[in-house]
Amino acid sequence: MDPTEQLEIETRIGEVLKSIYDPEIPVNIYDLGLIYDINVDDDHVAHITMTLTAPNCPMVEELLEEVKYKVGGTKGVKDCELKLTFNPPWDKSMLSEEAKLELGFL
């Protein structure tokens, strides 16, 4: 896969992730800063590294399933491998400007 195609797919994945909302905060998981890494390999498998706002999130399974389903269904993606990490732990500094504005932090 050439770098242009890879960038296009990763951009589409970013847009898809902006349609998925944290169950407890009215902001999408991308702008919340929960997505640490997006990478698409030559086999068109999306590798997403993400975290949660809190390790004991009761909706974790549903959220992860939604990410895998929606990213896996993105044009140019054959499958989605999801890695959940808490290192580094999420904090409010990871919010995008849009999320800070939405949540009243600006």
Tens digits of per-residue pLDDT, 9-47?
A: 999 999 999 999 988 888 999 999 999 999 999 999 999
pTM assigned to the model? 0.92
Indicate whether 21 belongs to any domain: yes
Indicate whether 104 belongs to any domain: no
> In degrees rounded to 5, what are phi and psi of residue 56?
-100, 30
- Report the candidate in 94, 92, 69, 83 with the shortest Cα–Cα distance to residue 16: 69
pLDDT tops 90 at residue 62:
yes
Indicate whether 103 belongs to any domain: no
* Domain tally, the chain: 1
pLDDT tops 90 at residue 57:
no
CATH number of the domain that 53 lies in? Answer: 3.30.300.130
- Report the candidate in 21, 9, 75, 1 with the shortest Cα–Cα distance to residue 48: 9
Indicate whether 105 belongs to any domain: no
- Report the candidate in 82, 72, 79, 75 with the shortest Cα–Cα distance to residue 9: 75
Indicate whether 23 belongs to any domain: yes
Indicate whether 78 belongs to any domain: yes
Q: Which residues span the domain enclosing 21?
A: 3-98
